[in-house]
Structure 1
Amino acid sequence: MNQFKEKIQKGEALLGTFIELNNPAIAQIAGLAGYDFVILDGEHGEIAVEDAANLARAAKLAGTAAIFRVNTNDPTLIGKVLDTGADGVEIPEIGSAEEAERAIKGAKFTPEGERGCNRFVHAGEYGRMTSEQFFGQSNANTIVVLQVEGQDGARNISDILKVKGVDVVFIGPYDLSASLGIPGQTEHPKVLAQIDEILKLGKENGVAIGLYVDSIESAINWKKRGVQYLALQTDTVSLYQHFQANTDAFHAE
C-alpha cells in the first residue's frame, strides 16, 4: 500500500491543490512545496488524458500523489487514466451507490472490479512488473475519490459510503450550494449542515471525507473538524493572487 493511502487510513489530514494548467512543472512545484497530492483536472482544466502521464511523472518526482479528475463516470476512461500512471482517480457527480459501484468497476481489477488488464503501460512500468505484481498492487494502491456535489448524492450518502473500494468522498461546496438554490454561498448554514452530516457519516463508515476550500484558514478549520482530503484552491488562483498581491503592494507606494 502506498504512503498516501496509509496516511488516509490512519486518519491523517492531507493537503492538495487542483492543477488546471497543462504544465508538468506546476505539478512538480506543488510537490516540492510540500503538497501531499495534486488533482490533475481533466474535468474543468486544460489537461487531457493523453497529458496525464507527464504530469503524473512530474508529481511523483517531487514525492506527491497525482489524482486525475475525469469528466464523467466512464469505467473505460477511468481505467485509461490509471494506465497513464496516475495514483488515483476522482470521479464527479456521484449521486447513488450504483454510480459509486460503476466507478469502482473502472478503477479496480477483478475480483474487485472490471478494469481492463494491460501491464504494458506506464502504470505497469511498461511490462517490467509481472502480472501478479501489477494487478495485485494496483488494487491495493489505487486511490478512488468520489465527488458528491448535488442533492441526489447528499440523500444517498449513507449507501455511497458503504460501497467497497471508496477511499474518499469529496464534497464540492460550490455545486452543493447550487443544488440547494443558493449558488456560491458555501458558508450558508444549509451547506454547512450538509457538510457536517456527511462528515459524521464518513467517520461512522470509516471513509475519509474531502472538501474544496478557498483559503488556508478554512483548510485548517476543516482539518480540525476531521476532514482529511483538503483541496486548497487551484494553481491558477494561487498564481493570480500572488501576482496581484505584489502589484497591489507596488502601486500602493
Structure 2
Amino acid sequence: MNRIREKFLNHELSVGTFTQLTSTVAVEALGRTGLDYVLIDTEHSAVGIEFLSSAITAADAAGIVPLVRINDIARSKVLQPLDYGAQGLIVPAVETVEQVRRLVEYAKFPPVGNRGFCPTRDGGYGYDEISMQGTDVYFAHANQETLLIPQCETVGCLEHIEEITAMDGVDGIFVGPFDLSIALGRPMAFDCDEMRAALDRILNACHKNNKMAFIFCGDAQAAKARAAQGFDSVTAGLDIMALVDSYRAMVQDIRG
C-alpha cells in the first residue's frame, strides 16, 4: 500500500519535502530522515526524463514514497512518471473542472480513466506479484494506490473545489499557499481573512469527500500549525533550502 494513503486511512499525518537538487544521492539521503515521501519537482527545477526515472528508482530503494510534480496537463507528462513508478502526481495551476477530468483520463486505468498501458517499471514490467494476477487486478491496484493530487493555487480551482474533490479518480488536493495568496490579491499574507476562508473551504471539501488535504509549509512550525488545522499531509521545505540553511548556521557558529 502507498504509505501516504495508508497513513491517511489510519488518521496519521504524513510528512514530505520537495527535492530540487537534481541528485539521486540527495533523494536517497532523504530516505534516511524519517520522511514519508519526496516530491520530485519538474515545475520549478531543471529535471529531465532520465533524472526523473533515476530519482524515482532511488526513492524506492531508500524506502521513501516518490511523488512527482508535473509541469503541464498533457498525456505524456502524466503517463511517463507513472510508468517509471511514481506513486502519485501533484498537478500545479489547475483552473477548471475540465482540466481535472482530463487528468483523471490520463492518470487512471479503466473503468475510472483511460491511462495508456504497457508493461513498465510501475508493474515490474509485467512480472511483479500484482501484475501476474492479470490486468483487472493491476488496474484496480494502480487506480487505488497511485495518487492524483490537483494543486489548488488559483481562483478557478478554489471556486470549483467542491466539484473537483467529489470526482472519482481525484485522491486529494495540494494547497500551494504562495500562489494561492497571490491569486487572492494578498501576496504572502497567509493568515489574512481571505486565506483563512480559502483554506477552510478546501479542508471542508476534502473532508466531506474523504480526500486527502496536502499543503506546502516553509518550516516545521508552520507544518505543525497546518497539521493542527486539519491537513492530512504537510510538505515541509525544499532540500536545497535545507542545505543552505544548515551550512549558513554552521558557518555562523564557527565564525562566532
TM-score relative to the length of structure 1: 0.93
Provide the rounded CA distance (Å) in 1 between the counterparts of 2:244 and 2:37.
21
Q: Which residue of 2 aligns with 1:92?
A: 92
Provide the rounded CA distance (Å) in 1 between the counterparts of 2:77 and 2:236.
26
Q: Output aligned runs, 1:234-253, within 5 Å.
A: 234-252=238-256
Provide the rounded CA distance (Å) in 1 between the counterparts of 2:228 and 2:191.
17
Task: State the 1:126 CA deviation.
Answer: 2.3
Provide the rounded CA distance (Å) in 2 between the counterparts of 1:89 and 1:161.
15
Provide the rounded CA distance (Å) in 2 between the counterparts of 1:182 and 1:207.
27
Q: Which residue of 2 aligns with 1:68?
A: 68
Task: State the 1:66 CA deviation.
Answer: 0.3
Partner of residue 213 from structure 2, selected from 209, 215, 227: 209
Q: Which residue of 2 aligns with 1:232?
A: 236
Provide the rounded CA distance (Å) in 2 between the counterparts of 1:32 and 1:91.
26
Unaligned runs of 5+ in 1: none
Task: State the 1:192 CA deviation.
Answer: 2.4
Q: Which residue of 1 aligns with 2:149?
A: 145
Matched, 1:164 2:168: yes
Fraction of identical pairs, as percent: 28
Task: State the 1:187 CA deviation.
Answer: 3.1
Matched AA of 1:118:
C
Task: State the 1:28 CA deviation.
Answer: 1.4
Matched, 1:123 2:127: no
Q: Which residue of 2 aligns with 1:39?
A: 39
Task: State the 1:200 CA deviation.
Answer: 2.0
SS of the aligned residue for 1:203 comes to helix
Task: State the 1:164 CA deviation.
Answer: 0.8
Query: What does the per-residue CA deviation read over 1:202-239, in whole Å, with 9 as the maximum and x for residues that have no partner?
Result: 21221111111011011111111210121101111111
Matched AA of 1:21:
L
Matched AA of 1:124:
G
Q: Is the 8 A contact 2:69 2:92 kept in 1?
A: yes
Matched AA of 2:140:
G
Q: Which residue of 2 aligns with 1:12?
A: 12
Task: State the 1:134 CA deviation.
Answer: 3.5
Q: Which residue of 2 aligns with 1:189?
A: 193
Matched AA of 1:232:
A
Q: Is the 8 A contact 1:108 1:139 kept in 2?
A: yes
SS of the aligned residue for 2:31 comes to helix
Provide the rounded CA distance (Å) in 2 between the counterparts of 1:72 and 1:46.
14
Provide the rounded CA distance (Å) in 1 between the counterparts of 2:141 and 2:207.
26
Unaligned runs of 5+ in 2: none
SS of the aligned residue for 1:32 comes to coil
CA RMSD between the two structures: 1.5
Which one is further off, 47-56 or 80-89?
A: 47-56
Matched AA of 2:125:
Y
Q: Is the 8 A contact 2:2 2:87 kept in 1?
A: no
Query: What does the per-residue CA deviation read over 1:45-82, in whole Å, with 9 as the maximum and x for residues that have no partner?
Result: 22223322211111112211100110011123201110
Query: What does the per-residue CA deviation read over 1:133-156, in whole Å, with 9 as the maximum and x for residues that have no partner?
Result: 533321221111110111111111
Q: Is the 8 A contact 1:21 1:46 kept in 2?
A: no
Q: Which residue of 2 aligns with 1:58?
A: 58
Q: Is the 8 A contact 1:85 1:122 kept in 2?
A: yes
Provide the rounded CA distance (Å) in 2 between the counterparts of 1:36 and 1:22.
19
Query: Aligned residue pairs: how many?
Result: 251
Task: State the 1:123 CA deviation.
Answer: 1.1
Which one is further off, 202-211 or 34-43?
A: 202-211
Q: Is the 8 A contact 1:96 1:159 kept in 2?
A: no
Q: 1:60 to 1:216 in 2, by over 3 A?
A: same
Provide the rounded CA distance (Å) in 2 between the counterparts of 1:59 and 1:111.
29
Q: Is the 8 A contact 1:42 1:49 kept in 2?
A: no
